Every structure is written in structure tokens, then in C-alpha cells.
């Protein structure tokens, strides 16, 4: 069972959290301006990468907050977590990369 570092509460076991899908997919400001294809792309298409994946998690049995995480989908390890609204870290800090903390 992974330990996930909630940016608000700190390290907690995985069972306190719920997965929330890919991060940084903003709801369009004016959906009506989008074509059907563009809207379908927003609704359904996700990157599904092999490797680093930015994704949303919610500390549902804790503070209740959504936050974002970078997780390696190959190893299932969290590289880092950050608050919702913050930009995806471009270069994960070398001292935490791979540490899973």
C-alpha cells in the first residue's frame, strides 16, 4: 500500500485517497464554442502515458482536497505531489525523484 504525500496533510496511506483521473485538463471556458470533435476530445481522450503521469487525487478520507501528483505508471511510484492550481513541475526535484515520498 503506497504512502501518498497530501500537500495539505502530509504522508498518509493510499486507502485514504481516491484517484481522480488525469490532471491539467481544464474545462473549456466556453464549451459552446467547441466543435463536437473538440468537445469529445475534452470529454474522453486522455494521454495514458507510459512513464510520468500528472493526475488528480483526492484525500477523500482526510482533508477532502483535490491535489495533483506526478506518478510513474511503469513503477506505480509517486514522484511528487502538488496543490491544485499549481503548474505541473517541469523537472521533479532530483532528491525526491524515485523516492516515492
Partner 1 sequence: MTNRFRTPSGGRIDRAAPVSFRFDGQTFSGFKGDTLASALIANGVHLVGRSFKYHRPRGFLSAGSDEPNALVNVARDAARSAPNLRATQVEIYQGLKASSQNRWPSLAFDAGAVNDLASPFLPSGFYYKTFMWPAGAWKRFYEPKIRAMAGLGVAPTVPDPDRYTQNYAYCDVLVVGAGPAGLAAALAASENGAKVWLADEQAELGGSLLSETSATIEGMPAAEWLKATLATLAARDNVTLLPRTTAFGYFPHNLIALAERVTEHLAAPGADLPRERLWKLRAKEVVIAAGALERPLVFPDNDRPGVLLADSGRTYLNRYGAKPGERAVVFTACDAGYRAALDLKAGGVTIAAIADLRAEVSGELPARALAAGIDVRPSTVVVGTKGRLRVASAQLAKVKNGQVGPAETIACDVVLMSGGFTPSVHLFSQSRGKLTWDVASGAYLPGTSVERERSAGAARGVYGLQRVLEDGYAQGEAAALASRDFASPARGTTPAPAASSRAFPAVADDLGADGFIGATPHGRNPALAKAFVDWQNDVTSKDIQLATREGMRSIEHVKRYTTTGMATDQGKTSNMNALGIVSEALGESVPKIGLTTFRPPFTPTTFGIFAGEARGDLFDPVRKTAIHDWAAEHGAAFEDVSLWKRAHYFPRAGEGGRMEDMHAAVARECRAVRASVGIFDASTLGKIEVVGPDAAEFMNRIYTNAWAKLEPGRLRYGVMLREDGFVMDDGVVGRLSHDRFHVTTTTGGAPRVLAHMEDYLQTEWPDLDVWLTSTTEQWSVIAVQGPKAREVLRPLLPDIDLSKDAFPHMSVREGSILGVPTRLFSVSFTGELGFEVNVPAEYGRAVWEAIYASGERFGITPYGTETMHVLRAEKGYIIVGQETDGTATPDDVNLGWAVGKAKKDFVGKRSLARAAMSAPDRKQLVGLRTADPKLVLEEGAQIVADPKAPVPVPMLGFVTSSYASAVLGHSIALAVIKGGRARIGQKLSVPMADRVIEVEVVEPVFYDPKGERLNA
Question: Does residue 90 bind partner 1 (CB under 8 A)?
Answer: no
Whether 8 and 63 have beta carbons less than 8 Å apart is answered as yes
Give the x-and-dash track for 16-55 against partner 1 (CB under 8 A). Answer: --x-x-----xx--xxx-x-x--x---x------------
Residue number with CB closer to partner 1 (9 or 96)? 96
**Residues 80, 68: Cα–Cα separation, whole Å:** 9
Task: Find the angle CA(72)-CA(76)-CA(77) to the nearest 5 degrees.
Answer: 70
Please give the Cα distance from 59 to 39 (Å, whole number). 29
In the complex, the residues that contact partner 1 under the rule CB under 8 A are 1-3, 13, 18, 20, 26-27, 30-32, 34, 36, 39, 43, 56, 58, 60, 64-66, 75-77, 84-85, 95-101
Amino acid at each position: 500500500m503506497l504512502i501518498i504525500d497530501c500537500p495539505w496533510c502530509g504522508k498518509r496511506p493510499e486507502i485514504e485517497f481516491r484517484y481522480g483521473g488525469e490532471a491539467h485538463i481544464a474545462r473549456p471556458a466556453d464549451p459552446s464554442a467547441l466543435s463536437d470533435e473538440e468537445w469529445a476530445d475534452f470529454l474522453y481522450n486522455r494521454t495514458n502515458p507510459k512513464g510520468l503521469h500528472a493526475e488528480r487525487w483526492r484525500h477523500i478520507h482526510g482533508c477532502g482536497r483535490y491535489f495533483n501528483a506526478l506518478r510513474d505508471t511503469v513503477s506505480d511510484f509517486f514522484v511528487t505531489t502538488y496543490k491544485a492550481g499549481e503548474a505541473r513541475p517541469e523537472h521533479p526535484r532530483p532528491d525526491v525523484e524515485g523516492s516515492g515520498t
